[in-house]
Amino acid sequence: MSNPSLVLNKIDDISFENYPIPEIVDPHDVIVEVKKTGICGSDIHYYKHGKIGHFILRKPMVLGHESSGIVSKIGSEVTSLKVGDRVAIEPGVPSRLSDAYKSGKYQLCPCMSFAATPPTDPSHENAPGTLCRYYKTPEDFLFKLPDDVSLELGAMVEPMTVGVHGIKLVDMKFGEDVMVFGGGPVGLLAASAAKVLGARNIMVVDIFDEKLKLAKDIGAATHNFNSRNGNYKDLIKAFDGIRPTVVLECSGAEPCIQMAVYALKDGGRFAQIGNAGKDVLFPIVEFSSREISLYGVFRYGYGDYKTSIEILRKNAQENIIDFEKLITHRFKWDDAIKAYDTTREGNGVVKCIIDGPE
């Protein structure tokens, strides 16, 4: 049986290819039959530009890193999973020898093998992406899905976990007021996670009214604000005079970063989740004189995937957030290239999910 895969060859060039089925080598290896994969903004960036910062596409790579599937085969020493289990795939595996791994910050491992991300060292091979029929990974980077969490939502665990990591870094407490900048998938999922975890009031800020409406429609936002319509004073007024104690900045846009610092309550905590395209002008005097704490967020760390899955499990029971509304487009495997082109064009896409390959 073959292993059909979706491959980015170079800028503007995606094709279907057949690769060998991966084999169990390490006794803790697991092979997953991939069922659902979401398209990430980074996928589109590689498609359009061929690089993100120091990560440069030098040779063809299999796309995809937001995936769920069903365990197909397990190594001889795998104990946490069995064939037939439904799982979410954490797509980055660090070096077990790195200081980052040993110190509990494996997301900072310089030798991280991350699905569908080119290595910074040109001599290294690309880490295979998850947009294939069979994907191999160690058992401790697979997470069993509860019975009441669908495979589609399982594919959304990865982008949600980026926000969850930020929420953990700022140590958000039950009942706090939170402001989320950026109404894309990560921002909406971060707001949703904060809501399920007990945030009291949540303001979502964006420049597109349809995203702001969606934030309320899914139940994530109690307030919203179009940042084209005023400054930070108008923003606070729209939040019923509340100055948030937590900001989750998911846009990476300089005006939003600046507005967020001014809007935060004295002593507040700021998680920078969104990536900026370049250095930004930062209100350092405001930041330091009001003792604001800033946290950089890079992917996710130990326990974050489990937290995201627990959020989905809790939500399935309590119906707090309508996560299904975030999936705006669904494509069969044969239309996977069309899915990338549709997402690239925008046109109302929030989260696009690709089936299979079956």
Domains of the chain (ranges; CATH) run: 3-145 (3.90.180.10), 162-296 (3.40.50.720)
- Predicted confidence band at 126 (pLDDT cuts at 50, 70, 90)? confident
Global pTM? 0.96
Per the CB < 8 A criterion, the answer to whether 177 and 246 are in contact is yes
Mean pLDDT of 98-127: 91
Average pLDDT, stretch 153-169?
Answer: 98
User: Furthest-apart CA pair in the chain: how many Å?
Assistant: 63
Say if residues 94 and 84 touch (Cβ distance below 8 Å). no
Please state, rounded to an integer, the average pLDDT across all residues of the chain.
96
Q: Which amino acid is at 66?
A: E
pLDDT at 122: 80
- Give the residue-averaged pLDDT of 199-220: 98
Mean pLDDT of 49-65: 93
Q: What percentage of the chain has pLDDT greater than the value 90? A: 93
- What's the chain's Rg over C-alpha atoms? 20
Burial (0-12, 13-18, 19+ Cβ within 10 Å), 33: middle
What share of the chain in percent tops pLDDT 70? 100
Please tell me the distance from the alpha carbon of residue 217 to that of residue 274, in angstroms, as a whole number: 23
* Nearest partner of 145 among 137, 134, 153, judged by Cα: 153
User: pLDDT tens across 68-108, in order?
Assistant: 999 999 999 999 999 999 999 999 999 999 999 999 999 99
Q: Give the model confidence (pLDDT) of 222-245 as tens digits.
A: 999 999 999 999 999 999 999 999
- State the sign of the Cα–Cα–Cα–Cα dihedral 74, 352, 161, 257: positive
pLDDT category of residue 1 using cuts at 50, 70 and 90: low
Measured CA to CA, the distance from residue 234 to residue 221 in angstroms comes to: 17
Res 251: pLDDT: 97
Dist. CA 211–CA 256, nearest whole Å = 16
Query: 221: buried, middle or exposed (CB in 10 Å: 19+, 13-18, 0-12)?
Result: buried
- How big is the CA angle at 342 (ends 341 and 345), to the nearest 5 degrees? 85
pLDDT band at residue 150 using 50, 70 and 90 as cut-offs = very high
